[in-house]
Structure 1
Amino acid sequence: YDSVDQLLNDPAIDLVIVNTPNNTHFEFAKKALEAGKHVLVEKPFAATSAEAKELFTLAKKQGKNIMAYQNRRWDTDFQSIKSVVESGLLGNLMEVHFRFDRYRREISVKGFKENPLPASGLSYDLGPHLLDQIISLFGKPLNWSKTLGIFRPDSKVDDYMNIHLIYPENLNVFITANLLVANPLPAFVLHGTKGSFIKGRTDVQEEQLDKEVSPLDNEYGVESDGSEGVLVTIDEDGNKHTEHQTALKGNYSRLFDAVYAQIRNLESYPIKEEEIIWQLEILEGAAIKP
C-alpha cells in the first residue's frame, strides 16, 4: 500500500493493527473504525481516558470491535502470579509489589518515547503492562497516588514511575518502573496472611521471537531452569513450608485467539473496556515529582 487510506479502503481487510508511535494511536484507530474495520491497538491504547471512551463509543456505532493489545497478561511469570493469587495459598493479601526494572542510561532513538509528546515517557511505555496485570487481578482501586521522576542525563520525559494503589480490605499494591536499575529486584513480591510468593521477571517470549522461535515450538514460552518462584507458607501449627514453583507456559498467541474469537464467534474479549479506561485515568492523572 502507498498510503494508510489505500489500506483502509481495501475491502479484503477486516482487522487493522495499530502499532505506531504512541501519540498517533488515537488518530489511526479512529480512522480505521470510520473505515469499517475491526481494530487492535498496541499499548498505550490512547493518551487519555477521554480518547479511549470516544473510540469505544465509535466502535459500537460502527458495529465493530476495538481491542487493546495487552500481551503481558500471557507472560510466563505472570501466569505463576495469577495461579498463586487464585489458589488462596497466601491467605488475605496485604502487600503486593510489581516491578519492571531496566538499565538504559542512553536516550532511545525512538523519538516518540523520549520527546515530551502525548503518551510519552516510561509511565506510558511500561505502566500499561504493570497496571493491566494488577487490574486484571484486583479490579479498580479505591484510591491511588503516583510519583514520576527524571533521572537520566538529558532526558526530557519521565524515566521513573511508582504508583501506590489502595484496594479493599487494606490491600496495598505498589508498581514501579525504573530505567536506571543496575541490579534488579524481584519483579513480583506478594505477602499475605498465610504466606509470601517471590518471583523474578522470567518470561522469554520476546527474546524467543527475536530469535525467530516459533510459538508452535515446544520450548516457546517455557522459562529457563532456575527461574522458579519461591512460595513460603505457614500452616496452622506455625510450621514454615518452602516450595519452588515452575511457571506455567506463557503464550502471546492466546491474545490473538481471543481477537479471533470476538470477531468471528462474538465471544467476550478478556481485556475489558472499563479496565482500559481505569488504566488511562491513572496514567493521565496528576503525579508527584521528586
Structure 2
Amino acid sequence: MDRIRTGLAAYGMSGRVFHAPFISVNPHFELTAITERSKELSRGKYPDACIVRSFDALIGLEGLDLVVINTPDGTHYEYARRALEAGKHVIVEKPFTTTVAEAEELVALAASRGLTLSVYQNRRWDGDFLTVKEILSKGLLGHLVEFESTFPRYRNFVRPDTWKETGKDGGGLTYNLGAHVIDQAVQLFGMPEAVFADIATLRKDGKVDDYFIIHLLRPSKAPEVRITLKSSYLMCANEPRFVLHGREGSYVKYGLDPQEAALTEGLLPGTPHWGEEDKSFWGLLHTERDGKVVREPYPSLPGDYAAFYDNIYQHIRCGKPLQSDAREVVGVIRLIEAAWESSRMQRVVRI
C-alpha cells in the first residue's frame, strides 16, 4: 500500500489531539516523523515515528510526502513556504496565514510545484454543523432569514505561558476561533459583499482580542440571510452554539461537538459511537408540519474529523477534489482582515 509518509511540525496540543491520532489510525498514512525540540513526549504513543529536533530536519527527511504545519499562527506562512519549496505536500492549521498576501503567495507556490496545500478547517465536520447543513438542505425551516453562530469560551484570566494570549506569535480569538465560524458561514452561504465587526479585549491585562461579533452582509448564495458570528472568553453562561430562524420555523442548538473532548481524554477515532452526541444535547426544532406545531429535539449527526484525512488521501493518491483547499480558504483570511479594519474604523467594510 502506498501510504502517505507524514511529519508533524510540532507536538503540542494540536499535534497530540487533532492530528497524530487521525494519522496513526488511518491505514493510508504513516506517521513518519514528529518534531520535538527537546522532549520525547510522543515516544510512548508513537514509537515507530522518528523524533526530529528542528523544522529543517523534518523537511529534509528523504521520502517524506506530507508536512503538517501545526505551529504558532505567526509561523504558518514561513514554515508552509519552506515545506513547499522542499517539495512536500502541506496541511496548515487554521488560521491559514495572518495576511491575504501571504495566503495568495502560498497558493501560487503550491500550484507552481504541483503540490497539495490544504487548511485544517476540521470544524466543517463538527456534528452540529453537519446537522445544520442537513436541516437547511431539507428546508425544515422554510426560507432562512437569520443565522447566528456563537463559539462560547470561559476563562476570565490571562494565561501568560501561551503564545495564543501574549500576541508574540499570533493568537487572539478572531484568528483562532473566528477562522472556524467564518469558514462555516462561508461554506453555507458564500462570500459576503461586506463585513461589520466589533473586536475587543475585555479581560483585565489582556494582550490579545478575546471578544468579537462579526456580521457578514449579503452573502453570495443567500443575500437576504442575516449572519451574526460571535465568540468571547467571558461566556460563563453558555449561549446557543447555533440559532437559525426561517419563515416556517427555528432551530436552536447548545453545546459543542464532542470529538475534541474525546480526543483530549485519549480516545482514538473509530471507537464505537465516535462523534455521536448524547441526546440531551440535541438541538430543538420548532416548526409546523401538516398544520400542527412541532417542537422536538432534532437528532444530531455524528461528527467526523477523520473525513478530513480521508479526503487528503483521496486527493493526493486518487486525484479526487480537495475539500479544504487553501485556494478557497484565502477568503476566510480576507474576511478576518476586513473584520479587523471594520472594528478599527467603526464602519462597514466592503469585500
TM-score, normalised to structure 1, is 0.95
Q: Which amino acid aligns with 2:226?
A: N
Match in the other structure for 1:244:
297
Higher relative contact order (CA 8 A, sep 6+): 1
Match in the other structure for 1:282:
335
Q: Which moved more, 1:142-151 or 1:17-26?
A: 142-151
Deviations 1:57-114 (A, max 9, x none): 0001111011000111111211211111111111111111000111111213453212
Please give the residue correspondences for 1:197-236 in structure 2 after superposition, counting only pairs within 5 Å: 197-235=251-289
Q: Which moved more, 1:10-19 or 1:264-273?
A: 264-273
Q: Which amino acid aligns with 2:268?
A: S
Separation in 1 of the partners of 2:326 and 2:95?
13
Separation in 2 of the partners of 1:66 and 1:24?
16
Please give the residue correspondences for 1:1-290 in structure 2 after superposition, counting only pairs within 5 Å: 1-117=52-168, 119-167=170-218, 168-235=222-289, 237=291, 239-285=292-338, 286-288=341-343
Q: Which moved more, 1:19-28 or 1:78-87?
A: 78-87
**Does structure 2 retain, via aligned residues, the 8 Å contact 1:202–1:223?**
no
**Does structure 2 retain, via aligned residues, the 8 Å contact 1:47–1:118?**
no
Deviations 1:184-226 (A, max 9, x none): 1111000011111111123111111111112111122111231
Aligned residues: 289
Separation in 1 of the partners of 2:329 and 2:164?
20
Find the residue that maps to 2:250 and give its secondary structure.
Answer: strand
RMSD of aligned alpha carbons: 1.6
Deviations 1:16-35 (A, max 9, x none): 00000110000100000000
Q: Which runs of 5+ in 1 are unaligned?
A: none
Q: How far did residue 243 of structure 1 move?
A: 2.6
Match in the other structure for 2:13:
none
Q: Which runs of 5+ in 2 are unaligned?
A: 1-51, 347-351
Does the C-alpha gap of structure 1 residues 117 and 282 become closer, same or farther in structure 2, counting only changes over 3 Å?
farther
Find the residue that maps to 2:281 and give its secondary structure.
Answer: coil
**Does structure 1 retain, via aligned residues, the 8 Å contact 2:107–2:327?**
no
TM-score, normalised to structure 2, is 0.79
Q: How far did residue 234 of structure 1 move?
A: 2.7
Separation in 2 of the partners of 1:287 and 1:118?
23
